[in-house]
Amino acid sequence: MKRVGVFICHCGTNIAHTVDCEKVAKTAAEFPHVVFSTDYKYMCSEPGQMVIKNAIKEHKLDRIVVASCSPRMHEPTFRKCMESAGLNPYLMEMANIREHCSWVHPDKEKGTEKAIDLVKMAVAKVVKNTPLTRSSIPIHKRALVIGGGIAGIQAALDIADAGYVVDIVEKEPSIGGRMAQVDKTFPTLDCSACILTPKMVDAAQHPNINLVTYSEIEKVEGYVGNFEVTIRHKARSVDVSKCTGCGTCWEKCPTKVASEFELGLGTRKAIYTPFPQAVPNKPVIDRDNCRYFKTGKCMVCQKLCPTGAVDYTQEDQLETIRYGAIVVATGFDLFDHSVYGEYGYGKYPDVITGLQFERLINASGPTAGKIKRPSDHKEPKTIVFIKCVGSRDEAKGKPYCSKTCCMYTAKHATLVKEKIKDSQAIVFYMDVRTPGKNYEEFYQRAVDEYGVQYVRGRVSKIYQKGDKLIVKGEDTLLGKQVEVEADMVVLATAMVARSDAGDLARKVGFSYDQHDFFTEAHPKLRPVETHTAGVYLAGACQGPKDIPDSVSQASAAAAKVCGLLSKNEMATEPIISAVNESICSGCGLCISICPYKAIDLKTITERVHGKMLERQVAAVNSGLCQGCGACTVACRSSALNLRGFTNEQILAEVDALCL
Amino acid sequence: MKLAYYPGCSLSTTGIEYNMSTLAVARTLGLDLWEIPEWNCCGASSAHLTNHLLALALPARNLAIAEEAGLDVAVPCAACFARFKATEAAVKDSAETRATIEEVIGRKYEAKYTVKSLLDVFVNTVGLSQIKTLVNRPLEGLKVAPYYGCLLVRPHKITQFDDPEDPVTIDQIMSAIGAEPVYWGYKTECCGAAHPTVVPEVGLKMLKSIYQGARDAGADCIVTACPLCLTNLDMRQKEVGEQNNTQYNLPVFYFTELVGLALGHDPHTLGIDKHFVDALAFLKNKGFLNPVQNRRDSE
Amino acid sequence: MSIEAVKADKAASQENWEPKILVFACNWCTYAGADLAGLSRLQYPPNVRILRVPCSGRVNPQFVIRAFQKGIDGVLVAGCHPGDCHYATGNYFTRRRYLVMQRLLEFMGMDPARFQARWISGSEGPKFQQVVTQLTQDIKALGPNRKLRDME
């Protein structure tokens, strides 16, 4: 026989005005298992809680129902009250007779009737409650940052400064990411490398940061505080402990290939660092193009290396490391504009992307900062910029705004006018969007002071005529067709997710949207967390972002990581799924339905007819389970149940209401 | 290979040479073109400006006859093709539209068979390699500007063939018969349609940019697959030239004429003598009119 | 009591009959939406009883069947909007189960309109009010649920 106490709150007059609380208390006293029932003006107040505590003591109550406001309001209050009365806090249920009853039903008779029903349901449920205990999981104080762009570097620096060890895993041979490719930054026009390179060096020299370059994430297991991450160190063919970065090897290497870093505008060698300021400044051998790996001959780099660092026999290596938290900062790719026939399907050499233009104006780029057309290396006089290429285009591109293009196009046009005095910069645009500190002013300067010509309208066609590009378009403000003879066209192509973003999200186990951008836990209130505890987002992998936004998000993610790592262990909510192994058939249906990868199969041994048999059953990881209950419905044998919301509890409520 | 054939009104009047050359070439290529009996007008641009249902019903009647014969339909004229395709799409799209159309034309039409542009038939039904093997007078050294116009490839959702921004089928056919297609920017520009007649100050300007574009690209002649484009480009060339103090000297051909020539047909049976800009003299100068031995004909 | 009297009593009770409706509300969206409706004093018929579940995906169709067996007149399962599920995907399962359940109820000879699913977010107090008001009207029009109750 359970001993239930029922406490009806008046909430001043909030409840008592339309609900006859006394009558509710009296009726509740007759419910099965109820041994005590009373009403009080303010149950949540100190004296109100004393009423509960005294009743528990006096009537030897082993569980209670509080009928008052929403549990979203005072559930923690009454749980604490239970605890201080020496009872398990989960042996308490609330009936919401304020928000769901007194406030919405003016008819006192009907309201009272409903309040009685609600209390009856709560009593039926609480009878089936069992004591639940919070458990705790240890936190491993080491963080992983995936991606070594500006967001990853910033997050790593912040976490490292707080005193935790951080590994940055970067798939390229050097950290730096997209920002390293950019020439100048808006709206200040300071040089990107000048502000990025010191950060790269800081990261490399920080005692708490390990740079793990030319490496990729192979596998992620475990859960918050205890991720087991397997990292693939790709074969560099260079022993980094011996290499001094002197550069002899890449100077003498006979093979030239198009440089990825220069976006095809320049070349690199088969043994290379992506750019001169690379961190670490140690080369890798591109085995697909290396003459030795293709023909077995050459070995120039090995012969010339003064420290004997070149090692052709290196192989990929796997390493498994334990982390407490993960920051994902994998950045973005550019939309492939070759789907646009009107811009020439990517066939015209002088129709380039904004990022390629960054390389063309970059002092350390392939043209040493002189703006030259890729086709004939002549200086272009008329440059057309087209915005929203791939952005805001549901037909062929992406529906979203890429956010950064308006500003970098204004920057590009400004730089053109600065570098080529007698030049013409014409921008075709749909809208000019400049929300950001000093952004609008920057754009206005481009128009007013630099004389950049903005034409509102889309370009319908570009075609090559001799060495000119004819750009046909519409000026919608004048309602006229325009035709420009341009020397070069720069497309502001959309920011899109990395092509392998979905793979990574599945490996780590968090969600991504229809465009493969990673999904934050809440678009407004939890912008840097994912739905997977312990995994955070920074930078453009979550959505198009400029540098200031990426950096702020990185620091925010770092703050979350530090908050997590500052604890030795983490309490977990006991409202999670539990398996009744004796009836679990091990079918595994629950595994695929679980959004948190919290369920696995495990092998158990049991005695059947005197023989020991092995079989598989589901096992819930209490660190990962968030208590949604999806698995309980999928389970055919009802072996899975959600603590705090068990099938029995819910059915008891249903029965109590109906009968 | 048997196909229903819908010549349309242009091919019996201003574009008669398109019909002549198509029939001659089809025989050589082994295409059995069955002219839809008692075909009616496709509605052209007039019907769909007047009445939506009429614009669908007119092509539907022709298509229904072809469907009764169980044949795909080959359409040489770009405008007919556009109207037929639009009808096919509308009928496939809505059972309600289909029922209304069937009631109007008094026949069943379920769009079971496909409407194909003649270009599509050449490239995808006959095949480029087949054309190549039948060539016995390769048009080597002939630089042609392939001109598609606006109707043939747009809207892509309806035409479902070739690339709307950079179509290539004429280019491919020209390469197959030994000619050299030039790359130029006016492939799909508008020829002006009725404007050269109605609003010449607009229409002739549009034609001028096409001539100029072809000339700049180094083409000897223009090749098209649309009777209205050809009429405009051919008939107005002298006038536009005079206005701009120049002579373009760009004969304009149907692609079937050049294919016919390459397959060894007599230029007169192809109707090449029917152009305003003297095409016969042009071809003679290029040396493409010398008689051909052992013409392979599948007849 | 005469047969006429029983009939008259039954008719009278039917006239005064008020449906009882069970709402399974997801803790993160609809429950909060109902709280907001209360906070905003948005009135709705007192026929609905809210049962709190962590996620609409926690609602086992068996709970619904049981409620109908025990004589409930209508059931509403309400959760977060598609794409907004607190647990990422729970409401997608709800959506699929809802469609299957409706067909099952139809097969059993019940009016599937007695079982509904709706998406009501935590900020949609007015929507909660409107949904339950409409539902109460609809269920009232359908009359008492006898079908399954009589099987007991």
Q: How large is the average pLDDT for residues C47-54?
A: 96
Answer yes or no: are the C-beta atoms of C72 and C20 closer than 8 Å.
yes
Q: Which residues of B touch A (CB under 8 A)?
A: 163-166, 183-186, 213, 216
The residues, ordered by sequence, that sit 6+ positions from B98 with a Cβ below 8 Å of its Cβ are B91, B109, B110, B111
Answer yes or no: are the C-beta atoms of A42 and A11 closer than 8 Å.
yes
A480 — contact with chain B (CB < 8 Å)?
A: no
* pLDDT score at B217: 92
Of the listed ranges A56-60, A439-443, A597-601, the one predicted with least confidence:
A597-601
Over chain C, what is the mean pLDDT? 88
Q: Which residues of C touch A71 (CB under 8 A)?
A: 52
Structure tokens, A21? 């609380």
A128 — contact with chain C (CB < 8 Å)?
A: no
Q: Which residues of B touch A465 (CB under 8 A)?
A: 185, 213, 216
Chains B and C in direct contact, meaning 3 or more beta-carbon pairs closer than 8 angstroms: no
DSSP SS3 for C79 = strand
| Residue A522 banded pLDDT, cuts 50, 70, 90 | confident
User: Measuring CA to CA, how many Å separate C16 from each of A574, B235, C12?
Assistant: 45, 88, 6
Distance CA A635, CA A588 (A): 9
Give the chain C residue whose CA is nearest to the CA of A636. Answer: C60
Answer yes or no: are the C-beta atoms of B286 and B249 closer than 8 Å.
no
User: Measuring CA to CA, how many Å separate A78 from each of A81, A132, B188, C36?
Assistant: 5, 15, 75, 21
Backbone angles phi, psi at C50, to 5 degrees: -95, 130
Task: Report the share of chain A in percent with pLDDT over 90.
Answer: 90
The residues, ordered by sequence, that sit 6+ positions from B172 with a Cβ below 8 Å of its Cβ are B123, B128
Q: Please say if the pLDDT value at position A375 is more than 80.
A: yes
* pLDDT score at B298: 45
Helices (H), A144-282: 150-161, 192-205, 248-252
CB atoms A466 and B164 under 8 Å: no
**Residue of A159, A162, A164 whose CA lies nearest to A142:** A164
CB-neighbour burial class of residue B99 (10 A; exposed 0-12, middle 13-18, buried 19+): exposed
Q: Please say if the pLDDT value at position C3 is more than 80.
A: no
Q: How large is the average pLDDT for residues B9-19?
A: 94
CB atoms B165 and A345 under 8 Å: yes
Strand partners, C14: none
Question: What CATH number does the domain located at B130-285 have?
Answer: 3.40.50.11810
pLDDT digits (tens, 9 = 90+) for A290-332: 999 999 999 999 999 999 999 999 999 999 999 999 999 999 9
Q: How large is the average pLDDT for residues A158-173?
A: 97
CB atoms A658 and C70 under 8 Å: yes
Q: B2-117: which CATH architecture?
A: Up-down Bundle (1.20)
CB atoms C46 and A654 under 8 Å: no
* pLDDT score at A222: 83
* pLDDT score at A510: 83
A483 — contact with chain B (CB < 8 Å)?
A: no
Structure tokens, A322? 């334990």
Question: Which residues 100-119 of A are in CB contact (within 8 Å) with C?
Answer: 100-101, 103-107, 110-111, 113-114, 117-118
pLDDT digits (tens, 9 = 90+) for C112-129: 999 999 999 888 899 999
Task: Report the share of chain A in percent with pLDDT over 70.
Answer: 100
CA of B206 vs chain A CAs: smallest distance (Å): 13
CB atoms A463 and B164 under 8 Å: no
Structure tokens, C116? 């509904």
Q: Is A615 left (phi over 0), alpha (psi -120 to 50) or beta?
A: beta
More confident residue, A147 or C88: A147
Q: Please say if the pLDDT value at position A214 is more than 80.
A: yes
More confident residue, A524 or B71: B71
Q: Please say if the pLDDT value at position C24 is more than 90.
A: yes
User: Measuring CA to CA, how many Å separate A28 from each of A35, A112, A611, B23?
Assistant: 9, 12, 52, 96
Torsion, Cα A332 A333 A334 A339, to 10 degrees, reads -130
Classify A135-234+316-331+498-572 by CATH class: alpha beta
Structure tokens, B100? 């209304």
Classify A4-128 by CATH class: alpha beta
Torsion sign over Cα A591, A597, A603, A604 = negative
Q: Please say if the pLDDT value at position B297 is more than 60.
A: no
Q: Which residues of B touch A461 (CB under 8 A)?
A: 165, 185
| CATH 3.40.50.880 is held by the domain A333-495 | no
Distance CA A41, CA A452 (A): 72
DSSP SS3 for B188 = coil
3-state secondary structure A580-629: CCCCCCCCCHHHHHCCCCCEEEEEEEEEECCEEEEEEEEEECCCCCCCCC
Of the listed ranges A359-363, B219-223, C108-112, C134-138, the one predicted with least confidence:
C108-112
> Of A99, A119, A126, which to mutate for an interface test with C (greatest number of C Cβ within 10 Å)?
A99
| Residue C147 banded pLDDT, cuts 50, 70, 90 | confident
Domain coordinates in residue numbering, chain A = 4-128, 135-234+316-331+498-572, 235-315, 333-495, 577-643
Over chain B, what is the mean pLDDT? 93
Distance CA A564, CA A324 (A): 8
**H/E element holding B237?**
helix B237-243
pTM of the model: 0.76
What's the longest Cα–Cα distance across chain B?
58
CB atoms C22 and A657 under 8 Å: yes
* pLDDT score at B293: 58
A379 — contact with chain B (CB < 8 Å)?
A: no
Q: Please say if the pLDDT value at position C12 is more than 80.
A: no
DSSP SS3 for A470 = strand
A463 — contact with chain B (CB < 8 Å)?
A: yes
Kindly calculate the radius of gyration of chain B based on its CA atoms and give it in whole angstroms.
19
Answer yes or no: are the C-beta atoms of B26 and B132 closer than 8 Å.
no
Q: Which residues of B touch A340 (CB under 8 A)?
A: 165
CA of A630 vs chain C CAs: smallest distance (Å): 5
**Residue of A316, A343, A620 whose CA lies nearest to A470:** A343
CB-nearest partner of B185 from A340, A345, A464? A464
pLDDT digits (tens, 9 = 90+) for A116-146: 999 999 999 999 999 999 888 899 999 999 9
Question: What CATH number does the domain located at A577-643 have?
Answer: 3.30.70.20
Q: Which residues of C touch A (CB under 8 A)?
A: 20, 22, 27, 31-32, 34-35, 37-39, 41-44, 46, 49-55, 57-63, 66-67, 70-72, 86-90, 93, 97, 129
Domains defined along chain C, listed by start: 17-142 (3.40.50.960)
The residues, ordered by sequence, that sit 6+ positions from A399 with a Cβ below 8 Å of its Cβ are A392, A393
A627 — contact with chain C (CB < 8 Å)?
A: yes
Structure tokens, A50? 């004393």
Distance CA A193, CA A283 (A): 20
Answer yes or no: are the C-beta atoms of B33 and B26 closer than 8 Å.
yes
The residues, ordered by sequence, that sit 6+ positions from A506 with a Cβ below 8 Å of its Cβ are none
CA of B183 vs chain A CAs: smallest distance (Å): 9
Domain coordinates in residue numbering, chain B = 2-117, 130-285
CA of C80 vs chain A CAs: smallest distance (Å): 13
Q: Which residues of B touch A463 (CB under 8 A)?
A: 184-186
pLDDT digits (tens, 9 = 90+) for C83-115: 778 887 899 999 999 999 999 999 988 899 999
| Residue C150 banded pLDDT, cuts 50, 70, 90 | low
Q: Please say if the pLDDT value at position B299 is more than 80.
A: no
From the CB of residue A51, how many other CB atoms can be counted at a distance below 10 Å?
A: 18
Q: Please say if the pLDDT value at position C11 is more than 80.
A: no
The residues, ordered by sequence, that sit 6+ positions from C137 with a Cβ below 8 Å of its Cβ are none
Q: Which residues of A touch C89 (CB under 8 A)?
A: 595, 630
User: Would the CATH topology of A135-234+316-331+498-572 be identical to that of A333-495?
Assistant: yes
Q: How large is the average pLDDT for residues A598-602?
A: 93
Over chain A, what is the mean pLDDT? 94
CB atoms B216 and A341 under 8 Å: no
